[in-house]
Chain A
Amino acid sequence: MSGMLNKEESKSRFDKIADDLIRPMTKNDGLSLQIWIFLLVTVLSLFGYAYFLQLRDGLGVTGLHDYASWGMYISNFVFFVASSLVGMLITAVLGLIGIKWITPIARIAEIVAVAFAMMAGLVIVFDMGRPDRLLNVFIYGRLQSPIVWDLTVVTSYTIISLLLLILPLIPDLAIIKRRLPNAPKWQLLLWNILSFGFVGTPAQYKSIHKMVRVLSILIVPVALAIHTVTSWLFASTLRHGWDSTIFGPYFVSGAFVAGVAWVILAMYFFRHQYNLKAYLHDEVFDKVGKLLVLVSLVYLYFNINEFLVPAYKMKAGDDHHILTLFTGSWAGLFWFSQIFGNILPIILLLFKRMRKPGYMFTIALLVIMGAWIKRYIIVVPTQLHPHLPIQNVPEAFHVYTPTGPEIAITLGTIGMAILIMTILAKIFPVISIWETAEEAGVDHETINQ
């Protein structure tokens, strides 16, 4: 393609792309950013106070008890792991099969992945009454325990996602370094370190492509492992509602739904806030909308399997679980997550006119709410009717009600994930400059002048 443009045309085209994509990093966002940061800081202060209470008084400040020992925190953990899986879907699955329209959203997907993968690890720590005992996992951890596998995969996935975020950034940072020589010192230093001496030689391009390709292949099994292990924390336990053979793929397919919805939210936000309408254009939204339909259909298929088969058999114990979900005390949340988090988005997004940024933002918000609630009703109801009930159990153990501090800590972790995304999107360009320029026909020489 590069042969088609003359030097001058190439230069002006590149200048426009680089200016458009770098501008959000330097622009003073003024009031809107301040309000945004204020909101996040408020949520984080609430989190700070609640976590102080929890550290001081222990897990007693939460609604957790001997029946529901996994509550909002673990539901949130599963939700975070799920949300982080979109990095693998976009970069690896779609990238490796050579889909072109992912160029403007690949980095957004990686930012979402990194933010949620990092927070997933932390959420587990927040679920511990004595976080200092985390060390015991390393001192006394058993390889037979899914918790150890979980720790391993979360760490590996976070590292690989970080590398997949940084590697395509290298040529961009070299560009930014040259174009913003008056940036603050710490930023210049950061770009300098993270550009790893890139100057744009063909060998350097080749090396980066190779590394990205190898990691894109590697991240597929690792991402499948992280969410399969998360699902096995439940499925390897003989409990009604968890005792399922399809929990692995069921969780993975659900993860893609939540992840794509997060990407849509982030796309919408950057499109407007960063004024990137020309790059995150309607056609990209249209494609991502179709992608959401695809992954939601797969998820719907797994949901039908997961609920219809046991509901047909109504095995003793399972029957009670299923009835509480379908018609009992959990029915409201269950049907909300199924209808608004899955069925309705599929139907709506089948229409082209619904695959527009505004509508899709609303739909993605519903999908995310449904996805969070879904994790909650996977984790909690099963624990409220154990196989071996405790004798003379307090009446209160039959229900689980999250407390104020618990909700504040959970909201805080979501706030932290969003804060990480905000910071990453402020110090790095959210759309790859060099890849966008390459696609526009700009040659490497112009890019690295």
Chain B
Amino acid sequence: MNRYNTLKHIALALTLTISNIGFSQEWTVPEDAKSVVSSVPFSEMTQQQGKDLFNANCKSCHGAIGANAPLPLNPSPGDPASERFAAQVDGALFFKITNGRAGMPSFKNTLSDADRWALISYIRTFHPNYKGAVAENPSAVNTFKGGNIQMKVSFDDEKHMATVNLSGTENGSVVPASSVRVGAFVQRYFGQMKLGEPIKTNASGVATFEFPTDLQGDSIGQLKIIFKLIDEDKYGLVVAEQTVNWGEKFVYQNPLDQNALWGDRTAVPTWLLLSYFGVVLSVFAVIGWVVLQLLKLKNLK
């Protein structure tokens, strides 16, 4: 056993050494990735958002920003306030956060594009010589150009339908926000479940959703439906939530209540009960018969 452990340690040490050689090399970012820039300008809002995200996702390894106290890993995570980070362009940072490497995880599926840009926006506040770079024409597509979008939702409980009504401010006046993508979600234990594909609002800023009739609700059939603007990086976070009561009632079935092999003694499967007592009773019936014959033996002439 000891020899086995020693071997294990040597193997581990070798692996670590080899990986050190491998990872201490430069982390190269493809040229085209470097040229990527944020589609929204960095603002106080994105910085605040980035700060929260940093504390939740990055601080555990990179340490409090500016304190130069990253975890002593190899390669070092580094303090994002340091020159090492300031020297990199936005696209390079974005690429690294997105893809990760070795100890640095990929945030591709954990954080949205907007979140990752918000992080960079926050990090940049520690780089005094940084000059912002934003795409020349961030929204070339034909979408609502205004901002300050308000969302109103009305439900039709009979038909399990919802109508989302968007209005926004464009050129100083409030108008229907058309061509804005709205997504519908339902709240689940571990996150939000997407319901179908996002729908674009029509010319009057309306998107209509039809829901399946068999959505699983809670024990009294309640569901929390959430509507969100998909282009969060452009319009900010616009959300509407509504609890409806047309979900299917969830009836919890304790697997221990079934008559099954894993059940307790009161939940014996019928087939087992019958075969057990069938066999045991037949065997003991025969034994009983023999004992009876034995007792009768002396009377047999």
Q: How many residues of B contact A (CB 8 A)?
A: 30
Q: Does B272 sit within 8 A of A, measured CB to CB?
A: yes
Asked if residues A144 and B272 are in contact (CB atoms below 8 Å), the reply is yes
Q: Does A99 sit within 8 A of B, measured CB to CB?
A: no
A163 to B1, CA, bound (A): 52
A159 to B264, CA, bound (A): 29
Kindly count the residue-residue contacts between A and B in the assembled complex, taking CB atoms under 8 Å apart. Answer: 71
Q: Does A152 sit within 8 A of B, measured CB to CB?
A: yes
Asked if residues A156 and B265 are in contact (CB atoms below 8 Å), the reply is no
B276: which A residues are within 8 A, CB to CB?
A: 143, 149, 152
Mark interface residues in B1-34 (1 if CB within 8 Å of A CB, else 0): 1000000000000000000000000000000000
- Closest B-chain residue to A159, C-beta based? B287
Instruction: Identify which of B261, B272, B287, B300 contacts A207 (C-beta below 8 A).
Output: B300
Instruction: Identify which of A144, A197, A395 contacts B261 (C-beta below 8 A).
Output: A144
A222 to B282, CA, bound (A): 11
A395: which B residues are within 8 A, CB to CB?
A: 1
Asked if residues A156 and B262 are in contact (CB atoms below 8 Å), the reply is no
Mark interface residues in B262-294 (1 if CB within 8 Å of A CB, else 0): 111100110011001001100110110111011
Asked if residues B265 and A142 are in contact (CB atoms below 8 Å), the reply is yes
Given A140-B265, A143-B273, are A170 and B286 neighbors across the interface (CB < 8 Å)? no
Q: Which of A45-53, A72-80, A210-218, A351-359 contacts B (4 or more CB under 8 A)?
A: A210-218
Q: Does B84 sit within 8 A of A, measured CB to CB?
A: no
B141: which A residues are within 8 A, CB to CB?
A: none
A208 to B290, CA, bound (A): 9
Within A106-151, which residues are at the interface with B (CB < 8 Å)?
140-144, 149
Determine the interface band of chain A, counting residues with CB < 8 A from chain B: 20 to 34
Asked if residues B297 and A197 are in contact (CB atoms below 8 Å), the reply is yes
Given A143-B272, A152-B280, are A215 and B301 neighbors across the interface (CB < 8 Å)? no
Asked if residues A143 and B290 are in contact (CB atoms below 8 Å), the reply is no
Closest Cβ of chain B: how far from A158's Cβ, in Å? Answer: 11
Asked if residues B300 and A163 are in contact (CB atoms below 8 Å), the reply is no
Asked if residues B265 and A207 are in contact (CB atoms below 8 Å), the reply is no
Q: Does B131 sit within 8 A of A, measured CB to CB?
A: no
A186 to B293, CA, bound (A): 25
Instruction: Identify which of A152, A160, A198, A225 contacts B297 (C-beta below 8 A).
Output: A198
Mark interface residues in A390-401 (1 if CB within 8 Å of B CB, else 0): 000001001100
Asked if residues B297 and A207 are in contact (CB atoms below 8 Å), the reply is yes
Instruction: Identify which of B263, B290, B300 contacts A203 (C-beta below 8 A).
Output: B300
Instruction: Identify which of B263, B279, B298 contacts A198 (C-beta below 8 A).
Output: B298
Asked if residues B297 and A204 are in contact (CB atoms below 8 Å), the reply is yes
Given A142-B265, A143-B265, A143-B268, are A170 and B290 neighbors across the interface (CB < 8 Å)? no
Q: Does A196 sit within 8 A of B, measured CB to CB?
A: yes
A222 to B1, CA, bound (A): 44
Q: Does B295 sit within 8 A of A, measured CB to CB?
A: yes
B294: which A residues are within 8 A, CB to CB?
A: 167, 196, 211
- Closest A-chain residue to B287, C-beta based? A159
Asked if residues B263 and A144 are in contact (CB atoms below 8 Å), the reply is yes
B289: which A residues are within 8 A, CB to CB?
A: 214
Asked if residues B298 and A144 are in contact (CB atoms below 8 Å), the reply is no
User: 9 interchain pairs (CB within 8 A)?
Assistant: A144-B261, A144-B268, A156-B284, A160-B283, A163-B291, A167-B294, A196-B297, A218-B283, A218-B287
Given contacts A204-B300, A214-B290, 20 further A-B contacts (CB under 8 A): A140-B265, A141-B265, A142-B265, A142-B268, A143-B273, A144-B268, A160-B283, A163-B291, A167-B290, A196-B297, A197-B298, A201-B301, A207-B293, A207-B296, A207-B300, A214-B286, A215-B286, A215-B290, A218-B283, A218-B287
